[in-house]
Amino acid sequence: MNVRGLAVLFLAGTSLAASAPEQVHLALGKTTDVLNVEWVTQERGGDATVEWGLTPALGQSGAGNTRVFTQDAGRTWYTHVASMTALKTNTLYYYKVGDSANGYSAVFNVTNRRQRAAGEPYRHVLFGDMGSSCAFSLCEACTQSSYTCDASTCATNRTNVGLISEHDADMFLHVGDFGYNLDTNDGAVGDHFFRNVEQVAAYVPYMVSHGNHEDGAGALAHYMEGFRLMPSNAIPPTYTTTNGATTNSMYFSWDHGLVHYIAMSTELWFGVTDGNTTIASFVAWVKDDLTKANANRHNVPWVVVHGHRSIYCSCDGDCHADAYKVRATMEPILFDYGVDFFINGHEHN
């Protein structure tokens, strides 16, 4: 949904070295002892390496993989994904990413699968439709007139409100619509989005689902490559965009604490497909996933499905034909398998 105000936006310059690691963001791994990390270099590919340890001296390292991105006019850039493995739960780790050719990032830190005290709730922060400009959920200093709202921007205002105050969160979940749009200005808007969220996403796993502003060919390629670190268990396991085949993050699931989360792309109902990932492939996969989740309710009692568009709403035209289109398929599944919540974005001012 695009009801965001019009403004003249400017692209601020950056002091980053040409190929320095940037846009660092985390995701949960497929098992509780793994965290995935992704980052970007602008001019050289190099090797994908993450180093981590219990102190800033680090001490452990792991190799990852690099993919070239060729869909922005006039430039070629690279995404890198690596995993920190054999991690202990409830343990603070320090890490950095990069390689000898491109240099390394700053040292960040993350607590792997924090174990809350008895009676203390987990802290899952859910939101959607944030944008590069108008990212008011990120911090109070974000504006409509600039795509830039990075750590230096947010430091100029209160830091005890917005996502920047949530470094104690266990997980972020962004339910679609990221940069408005990730491929705008030959991908510069996507760069700003990932630079902006690095100040939170490099410290807390940043989980996602696909939105309608990632539907166009360029935006979809940016989404799939920018979030290919997700712990996807989709069938089929890859999705092909104009940039090639990569991790299928159109739908996947994971557990965190007492919740089983299922990410789904509502955009499958609106023509987004590579011919292999379809409504039919999703329905077959989600029924199997929900069967397994229900068998594990004694350990993980809550089941949450999330996507971008509404299946129930009453505010505008989206709530008629569009909502019904997804609801006709999903409502019987949600009821038959006892899903506790369906969470979406899309409707906003």
pLDDT tens per residue, range 22-55: 999 999 999 999 999 999 999 888 889 999 999 9
- C-alpha separations of 35 from 41, 152, 243, 286, 314 in Å: 20, 26, 25, 24, 39
pLDDT at 264: 98
With a cut of 50, which residues of the chain have pLDDT below it? 1-16
pLDDT at 17: 58
Rounded to two decimals, the pTM is 0.93
